[in-house]
Amino acid sequence: MKKTTIELENMEFYAFHGHYEEEQVVGNRFRVDLSFDVDGERAALTDELETTVSYLDVYQCVREQMEIPSHLLEHVSRRIAETLRERFPAISSLRLKVSKMAPPLGGPVEKVSVSTEWQNR
């Protein structure tokens, strides 16, 4: 196996995640960073999209999950990771970070983030 890491960095979404009711009404900006490992040998040899995981399809999967309101970033993160694992069995491991930009904490904070890692056993 030739491990290849594919990264989707700084994906931005406007979504309605948050514990407080106003967060689910007004919404906020979120950033998602994702990297995942696949066996990239066939793709490197054949130059054919069918031999790897399409990052367009992965992006669309993340977007779908970001559109579903949740109270906690941990829940959003788990949903994204589980959906990716289900739809793309060729992914052997992934690292995911979901960040809420400018969270309403009563003072200036750039972002709050939840990170998740998963490895296929």
* Run means of pLDDT, 10 residues per run, the chain, 121 residues: 92 95 91 96 88 95 97 97 96 97 92 94 62
* Report field, pTM of the whole predicted structure over 0.75: yes
Cβ-based neighbours of 26, under 8 Å, separated by 6 or more: none
The token pair at 67 is 């559109």
Q: How many domains does the chain have?
A: 1
Reported as type and span, the H/E element at residue 46 is helix 41-46
Catalytic residue among 2, 3, 97, 100: 100
Domain coverage including residue 110: 3-119
- Position 121 scores a pLDDT of 62
Separation CA 84–CA 81 (nearest Å):
5
CA distances 105 to 13, 25, 102, Å, are 20, 17, 8
The CATH number of whichever domain residue 84 belongs to comes to 3.30.1130.10
> Which of 114, 92, 97 minimizes the C-alpha distance to 9?
97
Active site residue 100: yes
